Amino acid sequence: MVKRFVIALVLVVILCGGLIGFNMFRSQMIGEFFANMTPPPVTVSATTVEPTSWAPEIETIGTLWAWQGVDVAVEAAGIVKTIDFRANDRVEAGQLLVQIDDAVQRADLIAAEAAVERDRAQLERARRLRETGVASETTLEDAQTALANTESTLARIRAVLEQKAIEAPFSGTIGIPRVDVGQYAEPGTLIATLQQLDKMKVDFTVPEQMMGELHIGQAASFGLTEGDFPYDGAIIGIDPKIDPQTRLVSVRAQIDNPDDALRPGQFARVRVQMPAAENVIALPQTSVVTSLYGDYVFVVEEAETEAGAEPAPSGDNTDAADNAPSAPSLTAKQVFVTLGRRQGNMIEIVEGLSAGQSVVTSGQNKLANNAPVTINNAVDPATLALDGRDERS
């Protein structure tokens, strides 16, 4: 009985030891396999870093205003006698637009002119009598006062007559009449809008950080649709105060409107050209990865091979491939960079890269540091970004 028990125990020990040994051997072999296994290369697109001419631009939106624009209104109450314009007429400065009935004032004008002539003659008579000593100084002063009063009355009547003859304050395009003949118009009643459209003003805003890059006379381009800037102009005003709520600076530019296609109140797209800088390194924004540790890119380099190791062949296993020199293995290395200005799809690299390096432009989400890669630029964001910049310029 004891002998059988011992034999069974030995068999159990041998079986358990074999299982444990087999599992340890399998784990070791699996570990060695994964440790020596080379991961397949990741396909990415890449571009070569080359210094270029950087012409930064500020693109924003603004509002168009007429060079001069007013809402012409009634100054003196009365009945509208005549309307001497039609909608969208081109009027000249001083041209009569609306005549308010002034019959009463013209009658008063005749009486006031007669009173002035009378008082002027009385003053002249009093002056001669004073010179001969017949009249007193008081009589002369009373005559002067009477003439001043009648001249004031005459000037007031003439001013009312001018107010009732409403004229264009400047040359421009008149709008739709807002009054009718025979209508009683109170002071302030709108007659029509008058806009000078041969030149236009554009008001827009830029971030406070860009205020130092703007100056009076700086060239700018304008348009009504995205990507199209057919109108050229220049900055004529920069507000010295920054809005404390939005941190934006108000800017005004002037543009010509030869075809009258622009209208006050329209939405306008604005592009302000900055001075060009040479030897700037710029990459597509898709090249840059942002993390908690900073901004970085992946630089493609030749993989370091151990001494005596043969480079991995690429392509099919044919005789021609065996005889041809194999392409060098490539790896992607993480490089932290300092970013600068942005323009469209491009971004300036201030520090971290040098000319001639190859930088990954797409496929970074599949990469880790020192990961093997292959380059396929069939769809290259770098080319798309450059094409888009050329179209805008």
Instruction: Report yes or no on 73 lying in a domain.
Output: no
Question: How does residue 184 score in pLDDT terms, banded at 50, 70 and 90?
Answer: very high
Question: How does residue 37 score in pLDDT terms, banded at 50, 70 and 90?
Answer: low
CA angle, 126 then 130 then 136, to 5°: 90
Question: How does residue 7 score in pLDDT terms, banded at 50, 70 and 90?
Answer: confident
> Is 93 buried (19+), middle (13-18) or exposed (0-12) by CB count in 10 A?
exposed
* All residues at 6 or more sequence positions from 302 whose CB lies less than 8 Å from its CB, including other chains: 328, 329, 330, 331
State the average pLDDT over residues 143-172: 92
Phi, psi of 105 (to 5 degrees): -65, -35
| pLDDT value at residue 321 | 41
| pLDDT value at residue 330 | 85
- Residue-wise pLDDT tens digits, 238-265: 999 999 999 999 999 999 998 888 999 9
**For the chain, what is the mean pLDDT?**
83
Question: How does residue 53 score in pLDDT terms, banded at 50, 70 and 90?
Answer: confident
Strand, coil or helix: 53: strand
Q: State which H helix or E strand residue 15 sits in.
A: helix 2-36
Strands, E assignment, 55-170: 57-73, 78-83, 90-91, 96-100, 165-167
| pLDDT value at residue 328 | 64
Instruction: Report yes or no on 296 lying in a domain.
Output: yes
Q: How far apart are CA 340 and CA 295, in angstroms?
A: 11
Task: Looking at the structure, tell me whether residues 383 and 285 fall in a common domain.
Answer: yes
Instruction: Report yes or no on 93 lying in a domain.
Output: no
* More confident site: 322 or 177: 177
Query: Which has the minimum average pLDDT: 28-42, 99-113, 153-167, 300-314?
Result: 300-314
Provide the residue count of the chain: 393
Give the Cβ contact number of residue 361 at 10 Å: 27
Question: How does residue 324 score in pLDDT terms, banded at 50, 70 and 90?
Answer: very low
Structure tokens at 289: 């990865």
Q: How far apart are CA 275 and CA 283, in angstroms?
A: 19
The answer, yes or no, to whether residue 308 has pLDDT greater than 70, is no
Instruction: Report yes or no on 13 lying in a domain.
Output: no
Task: Looking at the structure, tell me whether residues 298 and 388 fall in a common domain.
Answer: yes
| Beta strand pairing call for 42-48 and 371-375 | parallel
| Beta strand pairing call for 330-336 and 371-375 | antiparallel
Give how far Cα 269 sits from Cα of 100, 135, 243, 264, 387, Å.
43, 78, 21, 14, 21
Task: Looking at the structure, tell me whether residues 45 and 148 fall in a common domain.
Answer: no
- Residue-wise pLDDT tens digits, 328-356: 688 889 999 999 888 778 888 888 888 88
Q: Domain span at residue 154?
A: 101-163
Percent of the residues in the chain that have a pLDDT greater than 70, as a whole number: 87
| pLDDT value at residue 312 | 45
State the average pLDDT over residues 43-71: 88
Give the Cβ contact number of residue 300 at 10 Å: 19
* Structural Rg of the chain based on CA atoms: 44
Which of 112, 128, 163 is the last residue in one of the domains? 163
Strand, coil or helix: 181: coil
Which of 163, 192, 209 is the last residue in one of the domains? 163
Domain tally, the chain: 2
Task: Looking at the structure, tell me whether residues 46 and 137 fall in a common domain.
Answer: no
Task: Looking at the structure, tell me whether residues 288 and 388 fall in a common domain.
Answer: yes
Instruction: Report yes or no on 79 lying in a domain.
Output: no
Instruction: Report yes or no on 77 lying in a domain.
Output: no
CA 92, chain centre distance (Å): 35
Which of 117, 140, 163 is the last residue in one of the domains? 163
Q: How far apart are CA 192 and CA 195, in angstroms?
A: 10
Q: State which H helix or E strand residue 175 sits in.
A: none
Q: How far apart are CA 387 and CA 201, in angstroms?
A: 32
Instruction: Report yes or no on 89 lying in a domain.
Output: no
What CATH number does the domain containing 141 carry?
Answer: 1.10.287
Structure tokens at 217: 């006379």
Instruction: Report yes or no on 376 lying in a domain.
Output: yes
Question: How does residue 143 score in pLDDT terms, banded at 50, 70 and 90?
Answer: confident
